[in-house]
A = this chain, B = another copy of it.
Amino acid sequence: MDKEKYTTNLFDVIAEKNRRKMIDLLRVRPMSVGELVELTQLSQPGVSKHLRKLKEIGLVFIDKDSQKHIYHLNAKPLAEIDNWLKPYRKYWSNKLDSLEQLLDEEE
């Protein structure tokens, strides 16, 4: 399908709006492909394609219930993003020195 020869990268995977929506949904509870189709307004192949990328990067895993494929979230890979953000967090954390806090609050 589409060759799909290119390596998927976590930042690219979460950059896509509908994929973020899907993992947001799967955070609530595991869902079948059909349920995700209803909730995303995408075509069924469209959903399957996104799920494949999410699976490749390890953000979801499948629990097969006969024909139904129940997709479960595995959020752990997102720790990479969290980790990347770490050195930046101090820039908006409210634990800055009091002058900066004051300036922030004035915004």
Residues in A lying within 8 Å of B, measured CB to CB: 9, 11-12, 14-15, 17, 20, 27, 73-76, 78-79, 81-82, 84-85, 87-89, 91-93, 95, 106-107
Copies per assembly = 2
**Interchain CA distance A89-B76 in the complex, whole Å:** 8
Which residue, A73, A88, A95, has most C-beta atoms of chain B within 10 A?
A88
Q: Is the CB of A78 within 8 A of B85?
A: yes
Residue of B nearest to A78 (CB): B88
Chain B residues near A9 (CB-CB < 8 A): 15, 17
Residue of B nearest to A59 (CB): B88
A55 CB → nearest B CB, Å: 17
